[in-house]
Amino acid sequence: MLLEEFMQNFATQFEAVEEALVEARSELNDADLPDGIGPLRLSKIEIANIVVHASGYTVDQRDDKTAAETQNDFLIMEGLDELSEQLYLHQYPYTVAEVMDGFHRDMVALIRLTPSLMRPLAPVVRQFKVETSSRLSTSRKFETLLSMIEGILDHLPADTPNYALRILDEVADFSECMTIVTEKVEREDPVAANDNVAAA
């Protein structure tokens, strides 16, 4: 399928994407949640699955694909990934400060409802309040948050409710979106040019 054809087709499917997202969110929040918890949000993976399914697009696995076809596949999948991330972020308030305040309230509610979460979540709550002054320092803040969440998920108390796990996943997903990804490229150290050669 040509890239232009796909884009035209997907434009007509976008209403179906929105309907599927509304339905999935409503199913998620139909569960009995305690006061102070919710609404829960869809994960990045859940949204990506809805977007890809609604697009009807599957990568052609033929071995004899042309370079143009391979490039089209790449551009379409990249576009779907970007759209999924934007739809994911659209679930949150417009400013990072508002998102942090919301996560802070969620963590306080989780600790109130499940006191055994106080110890693992206390460092996360403190990290929400870290001030940042640039895009890079904001990225580092969220990199730290992501690392913290990944570190505690396997060591949570046995009485941790499912909705707490979803909220922690929300923090991890949001943090991943806010982290600047840099490619680590192996490079040789440059050889210093030294004009200051000692006299013989």
Q: Concatenated DSSP letters for 48-65?
A: HHHHHHHHT------TT-
Instruction: Give me the pLDDT at residue 191, please.
Output: 47
Q: How large is the average pLDDT for residues 87-114?
A: 91
Highest mean pLDDT among 37-41, 67-71, 120-124: 120-124
pLDDT band at residue 35 under the 50/70/90 scheme = confident
Q: Is 124 exposed, middle or buried (0-12, 13-18, 19+ CB in 10 A)?
A: buried
**Mean pLDDT over the full length of the chain:** 81
Inform me whether the pLDDT recorded for 58 exceeds 70: no
pLDDT band, residue 29 (cuts 50/70/90): confident
Structural tokens at position 36: 């102070």
Torsion angles phi and psi, residue 189, rounded to 5: -65, 135
Question: Residue 41's pLDDT is what?
Answer: 92
What is the rounded average pLDDT of the residues 30-34?
Answer: 83
